[in-house]
Amino acid sequence: MNWFNRGARRAPGGMAGTSPPTGGDSWLDALGFGEPVRAAPDGESTLDPRWAESEQGLADSSFLSRQARRMVSADESAHRRVYRTYLTARAVLGVVLALSQGAIDLLGGTAPGWLLVLSSAYAVQALFARLWPEGGHPVSRRRRQWWGTVGVDVLAFGAMHWLEPVATLNHAALLVLPVMMASVLSARVPALATASAVSLLLLATAWRRSMEGGDITALVSQAGLAGVGMFVIVLVAGQMASRLAREERTARGSLELARQQAELNRLVIDEMSDGVLVVDRRGRVRAANPAARTLLSDSGACPPAPFSLASQPGWGSLLQAIEGAYESGLWPATGMDLTVAYAGETPRSVRVRARFTRGARLTARRGDDRADEVLGVLFMEELRQVLARQREERLAAMGRISAGIAHEIRNPLAAVSQANALLQEDLLRPDQQRLVRIVADNVERLRRIVDDVMEAAPGGLSPSRTIDATAEVAAICAEWARTVGLALGSESRMRVSLPKEPVGAVFDPDHLRRVLVNLLENAARHATDQAGAVLVQLEALDAPLVRLVVASDGDPIPADVEAHLFEPFHSTRSRGTGLGLYICRELCERHGASIDYLRRPSERHANQFQVVMRRDTVATEGRLHL
């Protein structure tokens, strides 16, 4: 029940939670003996009482204290437990009073018969109040509970004390029970009023007995001291009940914060791309996020936590590493590379980093129960992804450095080119002219290398726009053919297959030209001299994509070279920079496209590079035809 939540609704058959006691509120008003509460405002945190019994609550139980879990899972609040205990005590007391009076009568006592009748009636009422189910409107139920318990006790015990001429039993002591419970169950003013009524009853009884011949001084003094004690009981019991209310409200509030934090942690961990396992020294997995379970079994056969790593032989390496870490108290700071596999699945290499609770050292004496509390948090990541990320980081760093160097080379390279051009204006001997041409050729080569490096370096992104891919590809192919002196026609070494209608694609015209020219040069370099040795094909796919294929009939690229095709500075030619395909991939990624190499040994054009671009609508424009 949401006793710490000020706006919690009343549970069926229970008490309602209210705000902390103030002024005339009940000492346990915050635990359910106050006015009807309002609905919880939007955004206010609440705790579902069924949470402790749910799977989510059981999963969080290891992070919450046992006492707090017992509190939130209990059906009764502290107030209800006290009230039910009071009902039980009244029933037992009523039975004892009735039996005591009956025993006195059997033994020949002088107690009047009406006292036995009153005791028996009180016993019946107490048993009825204890067994009768609670129900009805909260306000009327509270009033009925108060008058049916505290009110009846004050009247019954007061009548016994007033009407009994000879004090066979000290019924005045019984008045302590209703006074104490009035301070717990009702507001402060009614509790003080109850104590006042009992004190006046004691004084009136003392005066009555003094009129019958008793010592008035002694009787009034005893009654006065008893009355003062009643007020002290009200104050002390009220303070204790108020403290109990505050502590329970604080405990439930802390439990709600812990539950929210556990739920937040679970949401964050579940969305992590890295696998997270919480294990103990016996290799039992206490918690596992979806990524970790996928690493342990890519087919989804890994059971939800808790489960044991010893259940699968393929997890033996991970289990041995965990046991060794608990024994030695050490785990490599950079992680440990292990091989794991579920039954019947392909083994995979993972890198595991670990952190342990209770400090970095895991050593513990045998027999120390606290050693079992040491938990390990394992962070798992597929080794292939780790290496790929490291390679990307190295390439990015290399690209930044290369771009800086290339930028610094431009100025002296321009000076060399200008000085060589001035030398060409003079009358030189044939051998000097040959040297000048060599310098010019190498300066031009260095300029192309610098341009490639600057193009591959990360920089400002050119905006993507919709282009007519059919027209652009036709124009680029025609221009490239004229540049390299390639004749066009049915017997041409290059064959172009284009759609009859415009095809819209999201790209940049200059970047598409750079990509296509690079692919055409590579294809022409490795193709034969036969007609149609180089194939350029553009087609619109069923999905909103456009595919551009540049293929050649040369020998397929070897597998060891294929693995490094799109890496920078990797070239099979002595005069190549190794940046061509890398730049193509970078330009494609900037516009949301992709580039891949396909090896098709069974087809004529065995080497195929395909660029897949996003498709978009484009107005019909004039096109160049080959």
pLDDT tens, residue by residue, 306-316: 888 988 888 98
Residue numbers of the domain that contains 314: 275-385
* pLDDT score of 613: 92
The DSSP line for 251-309 is HHHHHHHHHHHHHHHHHHHHT-SSEEEEE-TT-EEEEE-HHHHHHH-TTS-SPPSSEEG
Predicted local confidence at residue 37, as pLDDT: 33
502 and 548 share a domain? yes
Q: φ and ψ at 323, to 5 degrees?
A: -60, -40
Residues 318 and 415 in one domain: no
Whether residue 502 sits in one domain with residue 610: yes
pLDDT (average), residues 346-371: 64
- Where residue 462 falls among pLDDT bands split at 50, 70, 90? low
pLDDT (mean) for 614-625? 55
Q: How far is CA 231 from the centre of its chain?
A: 53
Q: What is the mean pLDDT of the chain?
A: 76
Tell whether 70 is covered by a domain: no
**For position 459, what pLDDT does the model report?**
54
Mean pLDDT: which of 62-66, 353-357, 409-413, 554-558 is highest?
353-357
Q: Is residue 329 within 8 Å of residue 318, measured between CB atoms?
A: no
Q: Is residue 437 part of a domain?
A: yes
- Per the model's pLDDT, the better-predicted residue between 9 and 433 turns out to be 433
Task: Give the DSSP letter of residue 150.
Answer: I
- Model confidence over 201-217: pLDDT tens digits? 889 888 888 888 778 88
Q: Are strands 348-356 and 307-308 parallel, antiparallel or unpaired?
A: unpaired
Q: How far apart are CA 443 and CA 448, in angstroms?
A: 9
Locus of tokens 């070897």: 558
In a domain, 35, yes or no: no
Indicate if 293 and 145 belong to the same structural domain: no
| pLDDT interval class at 538 (50, 70, 90) | very high
Position 52 confidence tier, pLDDT thresholds 50, 70, 90: very low
Task: Tell me the percentage of the chain whose pLDDT exceeds 70.
Answer: 75
pLDDT score at 548? 93
pLDDT digits (tens, 9 = 90+) for 568-607: 666 666 555 567 788 888 888 888 899 988 887 778 888 8
The answer to whether residues 84 and 196 belong to one domain is yes
* pLDDT value for 304: 85
Spatial CA neighbour of 611 closest among 517, 524, 528: 517
Region 82-95 average pLDDT: 86
Q: Which two tokens stand for residue 227?
A: 């009355």
What's the pLDDT at 111?
62
CATH number at residue 282: 3.30.450.20
Domain end residue (candidates: 409, 424, 456): 456
Q: Report pLDDT for 177.
A: 87
Residues in the chain: 626
Same domain? 342 vs 399: no
Q: Which of 456, 479, 506 is the last residue of a domain?
A: 456
155-159, 344-348, 370-374: the lowest-pLDDT one: 370-374
Give domain status of residue 29, yes or no.
no
Same domain, 452 and 470: no
Say whether both 594 and 546 belong to one domain. yes
In terms of pLDDT, which residue wins out, 373 or 146? 146
Per-residue pLDDT at 364 exceeds 60? no
Three-state SS for 488-554 is CCCCCCEEEECCCCCCEEEECHHHHHHHHHHHHHHHHHHCCCCCCCEEEEEEECCCCEEEEEEEECC
Has residue 566 been placed in a domain? yes
Is residue 87 located within the same domain as residue 222?
A: yes
Within a domain: residue 5? no
Average pLDDT on 494-511 reads: 89
Are 375 and 442 in a shared domain? no
Residues 161-174: pLDDT tens digits?
887 755 556 778 88
| Residue 20 counted as domain residue | no
User: At 70, is the pLDDT very low, low, confident or very high (cuts 50, 70, 90)?
Assistant: low
CA within 13 Å, CB half, 29: 18
Q: What is the mean pLDDT of residues 376-389?
A: 82
Residue 559 token pair: 């597998």
Distance in angstroms (rounded) separating the CA atoms of residues 376 and 499: 60
The answer as to whether 547 is a domain residue is: yes
Whether pLDDT at 29 is above 80: no
Number of domains in the chain: 4
Q: Which residue has the higher pLDDT, 183 or 388?
A: 183
* Domain containing residue 527: CATH number: 3.30.565.10
For residue range 95-140, list pLDDT tens digits in order.
888 888 788 777 766 667 778 888 888 889 888 888 887 665 566 7
**445 and 479 housed in the same domain:** no
pLDDT at 54 over 80: no
Do residues 400 and 494 share a domain?
Answer: no
> Where is the domain boundary, 418, 434, 456?
456
